[in-house]
Structure 1
Amino acid sequence: MAGSKGIRRFHRVVSMVFMATVVFTAVALTIDSSMAWVSYVPLLPLFVLMGTGVCMWFLPQIARRRAA
């Protein structure tokens, strides 16, 4: 279960980074709309969140199979 706690903690930290990048992107696009590349900044933390979310989704099922 120590791995599960680590993944959850990492997921929380990445979610905070994701929210910060979304706020940064919104502010940057309102100031200067010619910087279209800024809209891609939140994608990296979003993909990491998707990976850790899927991992946390399957952790209880894996633990049940190991216990059986």
Structure 2
Amino acid sequence: MPLELDLYGVYLPGVFGLMLAAYLIVRGLRAVAARTGFYALVWHRALFDLAVYVIVLDALFSYTSKLIP
């Protein structure tokens, strides 16, 4: 993974792409959870969403770090 992303002269950290991917995945998971009524079982929705985001981000980071020697 590159250390920096060059976006029209603006340098962003390389983890930014993983953070964006994790956000999009969690956004889809939130939609599925809301439609199925899963949030009725969750005590604190915001904390649950944050925990799922951290788990997905860690999974993406672990997966990509194994791809790069």
Determine which structure has the larger strand proportion and give its number. Answer: 2
Computing the radius of gyration over CA atoms, which structure comes out larger, 1 or 2?
1
TM-score bracket, normalised by the shorter chain, equals 0.3 to 0.5
Determine which structure has the larger helix proportion and give its number. Answer: 1
Determine which structure has greater relative contact order: mean sequence separation of CA pairs < 8 Å that are 6+ residues apart, divided by chain length. 1
Alignment TM-score, normalising by the size of structure 1: 0.44
Alignment TM-score, normalising by the size of structure 2: 0.43
